[in-house]
Structure 1
């Protein structure tokens, strides 16, 4: 690693280091335990001053920028119970990076915690959805959706998150529920590599990239691990699948990343009266046992291929689901002019893909889907998608057109 970067971090390693015990687990795959900067980098990660990159690397072979250093100083300025000697170091660093801190909105003149205890984000979204089924009248929906997402700090480890949503049907000028509704509210705790979430959770099956389920879970979820990451969850799901019948749920997923390749396996158990149907199993049952495998390969910074397969071993009919998707680039809401596109083929058996995440392909459908996203302006994105295929159980042609404009704040 270049000492230009590590030396800067070593100078900052006492920033907010309330404890003197170094983290036991190695947070970055490219910083070996015998490296001279291992303790400093590990301590900075444990204190939340540095986070590394999404692939689990630290990339210390590149020079740090002044803005990256300013971000670390800003995090240190928000720390409480800082020793006097470290406070003096923070003052010197704040003076050195005053211009960058001011651009980041940090008050250099006051080292008290600068962030509000509650942070709000949100969006305003317009969706046009057109569903076509053979021998059935086309269904068109024009939906205006407004969302608020507060995040409140409880202490150094816990925070509370929630999401409020209001929908309006622009064809009839009426709201779907007539009021702002609470989608989820939960408490989330982070202890190094351990993450705990309790309450009503926006829950997805991750190994298959939400091919089987993207809905809400009332219960608990635990994530842990480093090289092999695990997710364990249990609770109750309301309005399960296409019915209003609830389901009890337990599930576990294991995943890992090896260079450009990611992969994982999962098991998900559901128990619900919604399964007591003649089109579900030869022998009546109220269980679903879903096994899944999924993975992706990133060819370069622009191209990625992902695939997933799931099967419900408790069902006898329409109990298999699969997806293959090719992605090119991707629109970033902060980057005006960025764009992305995808091409996919999916088969979503109704007795396994209970609540899939897709906009133009749903439960009990199969076929091709294509889509593109584009960032018109900063925080203003557009999306267009098209599906052509079949309704599986009816064996009838089906298609869908989806368009979206989203303003994020």
Structure 2
């Protein structure tokens, strides 16, 4: 297998943290200063990882052999002042090119071959919520505040070149409850699944986030999913949906629901879009009774929900996204939609980055069954504004404000949401 300039740039990223001469003087006549790879190539030369062809040329568009790539990796392995992340990447490259490295006299042990098979990511977060019903006479519903702490671990283990096993483990506590009786400290295995990737074909088995985790179906389910395609993708899944993932405004399913879904997606450059279908059935899906009006809003035991979504990124700072969904089996609250404008956005890895957004959402509770929007909730409609900011590397602070109506009672609502996340 032959590589081109991309291989060299991979190694450049590996040794980047170890170098003190970034963007050194131009060593190659065929890599001008305005070339997209200039900084990386110059640093590689300054670090002694590449030497060019002796005639002042780099020939970046020319294929290189695995043996030549191994030479660069060997030089990167000789460096000692590298970070833990860079060392892990070096080990992984060394495992891939172990045969060539052995021919060069660079020993790669079996332990090194298996290095970095398990990766750990995670975060710690604090969340504050204040949900307010301006028109209710019930003091318990007038204002509900909560303080929540979460510690999340997300391991990913490599089984072989095609299969990985992934998981999500959450430990959480409610800070607004100090008594041992009322405190809801808990540790949950939220997700665990095996994922196989074969070119443009992917399969998932276990409990995982499904096709619409970017809209009203932001939840997990237990089952199987297949996906294939490149720019145009087809996804289908089937399994069981737990009643524990329903919105808090709804009563639980009498039993866990059977769940099937399928969708077509398209992604090309600045535009992403898709059309999906979701089917759920269980013994009952009943809503809270409106005691004042003496009404009982009841959903059929079957939900058939169609959803269309799209997003367009105009440039690096401006984007639009939205969706529309309709539950054809519901008699009321049978549609949900959202339109959002985004300006920039905080990047956890880049200190000082920030973003802001404005949105209008109408989330009919018979359709937005699993919505996790934070400022306008399921069963509500209204405006949301928000902003996020990265004050330090790997730390993001988010604020959201929602103002609108409760769809069931027509009461005015106001929601506040704040979160601080620390990623590792």
Interval containing the TM-score (normalised by the shorter chain)? 0.7 to 0.9
- TM superposition shift of 1:250: 0.6
Q: Is the 8 A contact 1:204 1:215 kept in 2?
A: no
- Bigger Cα displacement from structure 2, 160-169 vs 240-249: 240-249
Where 2:5 maps in the other structure, the secondary structure is helix
**1:140 partnered with 2:145:** yes
- Match of residue 415 from structure 2: 400
Structure 1: gaps (5+ residues): 1-5, 14-60, 74-84
- Match of residue 328 from structure 1: 343
Cα gap change, 1:120/1:396 in structure 2, threshold over 3 Å: closer, same or farther? same
Cα gap change, 1:12/1:130 in structure 2, threshold over 3 Å: closer, same or farther? closer
Q: Equivalents in 1 of 2:423, 2:319: separation in Å?
A: 26
Cα gap change, 1:330/1:378 in structure 2, threshold over 3 Å: closer, same or farther? same
- Match of residue 186 from structure 1: 193
- TM superposition shift of 1:244: 2.8
Structure 1 residues 102-159: Cα deviation after superposition (integer angstroms, max 9, x where no partner): 4522357654336332221111111111000132331000111111111111111111
The residue correspondences of 1:201-212 to structure 2 (distance < 5 A) are 201-205=208-212, 209-210=214-215, 212=216
**1:311 partnered with 2:352:** no
Aligned residues: 339
- Match of residue 252 from structure 2: 244
- Match of residue 63 from structure 1: 37
- Match of residue 167 from structure 2: 162
Q: Is the 8 A contact 1:153 1:159 kept in 2?
A: yes
Q: Is the 8 A contact 1:310 1:322 kept in 2?
A: yes
Q: Equivalents in 1 of 2:408, 2:346: separation in Å?
A: 35
- Match of residue 262 from structure 1: 272
The residue correspondences of 1:37-116 to structure 2 (distance < 5 A) are 62-63=36-37, 65-66=40-41, 88-97=67-76, 102=82, 104-105=86-87, 106=90, 111=108, 112-113=112-113, 115-116=115-116
Highest CA radius of gyration, 1 or 2?
Answer: 2
Q: Is the 8 A contact 1:66 1:97 kept in 2?
A: no
- TM superposition shift of 1:95: 3.8
Cα gap change, 1:166/1:11 in structure 2, threshold over 3 Å: closer, same or farther? closer
**1:358 partnered with 2:373:** yes
Where 2:267 maps in the other structure, the secondary structure is strand
Cα gap change, 1:259/1:407 in structure 2, threshold over 3 Å: closer, same or farther? closer
Cα gap change, 1:231/1:349 in structure 2, threshold over 3 Å: closer, same or farther? same
Q: Equivalents in 2 of 1:367, 1:294: separation in Å?
A: 19
Q: Equivalents in 2 of 1:324, 1:170: separation in Å?
A: 33
**Match for 1:291 among 301, 306, 313?**
306
Where 2:71 maps in the other structure, the secondary structure is helix
- Match of residue 131 from structure 2: 131
Q: Is the 8 A contact 1:66 1:100 kept in 2?
A: no
- TM superposition shift of 1:204: 5.0
Where 2:347 maps in the other structure, the secondary structure is coil
Q: Equivalents in 1 of 2:398, 2:368: separation in Å?
A: 24
**Match for 1:230 among 234, 241, 245?**
234
- TM superposition shift of 1:87: 6.6
- TM superposition shift of 1:404: 0.8
- TM superposition shift of 1:97: 4.4
- TM superposition shift of 1:88: 4.1
Q: TM-score, normalised by structure 1?
A: 0.75
Structure 2: gaps (5+ residues): 11-34, 50-63, 95-105, 288-295
Q: Is the 8 A contact 2:8 2:69 kept in 1?
A: no
